[in-house]
A and B are shown apart, each in its own frame.
Chain A
Amino acid sequence: MGLALWLAAGLLIATAGIPRADEAAPIAQIKKVTGQAAVLRSGERRPANVGDTLLVKDVIETGPDGAIGITFIDNTVFSAGPSSQIALDEFQFDSNNFRGAMLADMRQGTLAVVSGDIARSAPGAMKVKTPTAILGVRGTTFAVQVYGDH
């Protein structure tokens, strides 16, 4: 009994400092905003502000005059032009070994990307989905346009 308690306490201490693969952990930060830009989270739309953090499943949106630039924790950089909608569907990253996986759903608009540690970690680790095709990223700089009226 006494030993079990000590073991449990030891485990608690041992795990306290390890970041969990938490759904609520920030995956990116908004670095730049021009015109109208918003973040759609859990069905709620809020204006995008420089310095705000983003979570997995967030959707970034820009208006007809809007643009937004964000940097992910793996150092991937996204920047979207006007009338864009991009969902951050999947994101996992382990900063100890620089491995992870990422899937962005590009629904509409223009997106320029400079890939980071995730794309470097393994072929196929980073993907951008469009309505008709899937883009696999080997690195590093590319752009995608998805037309709105498909």
Chain B
Amino acid sequence: MMWRTILALASMVLLAGCPRQALFVVLPNAEGGGVGAITVENGESVTTLDKPFATAEARAGGTAPTAETQENISVIFRSAIAAQPILPHHFRLYFILGSNELTPESKVAYRAVFDDIKQRPVYEIEVIGFTDTLGDLPYNQGLSLARAAAIRGALVRDGLDRQAISIAGRGKRDLLVATADQTPEPRNRRVEITVR
């Protein structure tokens, strides 16, 4: 324990003599998703940073944790952070049994998807359709693709660029809620939409 402390202190003293070459910072996770972590490795040592604003620096002698004020961090990265695009968002919309028509609730939720896309100067949209396990594989493959196509059709009718929207169907192969075969399950009758 004591040796580790002495070694750490010694490496800090050694590092402090050389100019800083790089700075590494963990930032609070965007949009509140958990606690992030990075590792910084220079061949000899591995430094793990796993708290918001934890910082490491690289100097000629190696890499080591360091301390940098939040003010300095926000000054250093102000332009980079200001250039951050609107982050990708994910949505799920649900369908009526055996149909490519949205449930009444999802018709409302569709507007939120559309509004999210509209605020982006440029966008790419992925729509993947899914079904529950009622019916055979080919039927559900067709239905899942029809669901994705219906959403693309609606987005294009609402004025979005068809070229920016990709669709796919996964049939009943990728259930959100695990069920036995031939089981109606509203949460599996869905499309998953990624907007970026």
Write the residues of chain A forming the contact surface with B, with a CB cutoff of 8 angstroms: 29-32, 34, 50-51, 67-71, 73, 75, 77, 79-82, 84, 95, 106, 109-112, 114-116, 130-147, 149-150
Instruction: Tell me if B41 counts as interface (CB < 8 A to partner A).
Output: yes
| Complex interface: chain B residues within 8 A of A81 (CB) | 77-80, 83
Of B103-111, B117-125, B134-142, B147-155, the one contacting chain A is: B117-125
Given contacts A73-B124, A136-B39, A142-B49, 15 further A-B contacts (CB under 8 A): A67-B79, A79-B81, A79-B82, A80-B80, A82-B79, A111-B80, A112-B81, A116-B88, A135-B39, A136-B38, A136-B40, A141-B36, A142-B25, A143-B25, A144-B25
- Is the pair A131, B21 in contact by a Cβ cutoff of 8 Å? yes
B79: nearest chain-A partner, CB-CB:
A81
Chain A proximity mask over B120-133: 1 for CB below 8 Å, otherwise 0: 11101010000000
State which of B21, B22, B29, B42 has its C-beta within 8 Å of the C-beta of A140.
Answer: B29
Given A133-B42, A139-B34, A142-B36: A69 and B24 within 8 A (CB)? no
Given A81-B80, A147-B21: A31 and B86 within 8 A (CB)? yes
Q: Number of contacting residues on B, CB 8 A? A: 47
Write the residues of chain B forming the contact surface with A, with a CB cutoff of 8 angstroms: 19-30, 33-34, 36-42, 49-50, 58, 60, 63, 73, 76-88, 120-122, 124, 126, 194, 196
- Is the pair B22, A132 in contact by a Cβ cutoff of 8 Å? yes
| Complex interface: chain A residues within 8 A of B88 (CB) | 71, 75, 77, 116
Given A133-B42, A134-B41: A144 and B22 within 8 A (CB)? yes
**Given the complex of chains A and B, what is the CA–CA distance between A77 and B87 in angstroms?**
7
Given A32-B83, A70-B85: A138 and B22 within 8 A (CB)? no
- Is the pair A140, B34 in contact by a Cβ cutoff of 8 Å? yes
